[in-house]
Amino acid sequence: MNKIALGMMCFIFIVFGFSDCFGQNDNSVARSVGRPQTMALAKIGKAKIQISNNDLRIGDLVKLDVGVLLDFDKPVYFPEDLQYRLVITDEKGASVPFETTFPVDGIGQFGLFTKTYLVDKAYFVVGCKGRASVATKAAWSAVDWEDARSAFEHGAFFPESDFCVNVAGEGKFSIHVEVYNDSLRRPDAGSDAPTAIGTISSNVLDFNVKAR
């Protein structure tokens, strides 16, 4: 997905999908504009995920892949950058918190798709108290972003991941994503294609966490 731009630029990922922010460009979104055509995402879309390893240890860096199939034989508008919510639970079904590294700036532009497979990726760390995570957070918190020298001197490098899963110890966990779009493309004279709206859930993957 590469949606992360370092420094004083915005950070967009993957997840990117962790907050409801919307872009402002001409090809962006409008929540109430005339009578735009819509299509239920659940009728034409499917989502799936995979992770690089399901036997993990606290401190591991894990790749999360997200794929979305838009299976419709007519053109439909959908964001080019996937938006999704993470759902992580423990073996008792309780929600496991996670911390995103930086907020999502916007959904970007819409694409016009016919029978298309979209893919995205993110990286997460098991646990949020590791030495590298703490050092990165401390460096970014100390930076004066109006002074480029401050960023350099504090070593504000790329974070190691897009988010961390705040597990307290060993156990069995599950993860899935909810891919969504709740914004409409601005209508124009060039196309009357609908915008795919709604939410679809991916498969659920289990993973084990052990202490180092």
pLDDT computed for residue 59 by the predictor: 86
pTM for the whole thing?
0.73
Mean pLDDT per 10-residue run, the chain (212 residues)?
A: 36 36 39 69 97 91 95 94 93 91 67 94 87 71 86 77 87 96 79 92 96 79
Distance from C-alpha of 53 to C-alpha of 124, rounded to nearest angstrom: 12
* CATH of 29-210 among 3.40.50.300, 1.10.260.40, 3.40.50.1000, 2.60.40.3880: 2.60.40.3880
DSSP conformation class of 43? H
pLDDT computed for residue 12 by the predictor: 32
| Strands 184-185 and 116-126, sheet pairing | unpaired
Name the residue ranges covered by the structural domains of the chain: 29-210
pLDDT computed for residue 8 by the predictor: 32
Distance from C-alpha of 47 to C-alpha of 108, rounded to nearest angstrom: 20
pLDDT computed for residue 35 by the predictor: 64
